[in-house]
Amino acid sequence: MENLELLIDFHIDAERQGPGSDEDTVKALNLTPLSKQSNLKVADIGCGSGAQTLVLAKELQADITAVDLFPEFLEKLTERAKASGLEGKIKTLEASMEDLPFEKESLDLIWSEGAIYNMGFETE
């Protein structure tokens, strides 16, 4: 089994692929000025199986694009979204964090809970 397959196999049934909780997601979201706005465009980058994506979908009036490199995690998120009645608010996108298809300034919020360290921060 390759390293990436081991990573997927280890995390696929976990609620989250990193530290945190639904409460932590809500707390961080409440630090933004966006929680009361509507028609938001949100990208959750490195979403994994989508624990925080589901919280964002519950808390925001938004169209959310959940992005992950691994289709297995996206499939799990799709199942969880359907079970929660949130499938209409979330679409999935299999893509690398380093090659995202979003136009500059097309999103109201870029979320990357527990995943941004994979690519780091840069300033332009």
Q: What is the pLDDT of residues 79-93, one digit of tens each?
A: 999 999 999 999 999
Give the C-alpha separation, 70 to 77, whole Å.
Answer: 11
Residue 92, strand partner residues: 66
- Fill in the amino acid letter for 71: P
- Identify which of 81, 85, 118, 113 has the alpha carbon closest to the alpha carbon of residue 99: 118
pLDDT tens for 54-106 read 999 999 999 999 999 999 999 999 999 999 999 999 999 999 988 899 999 99
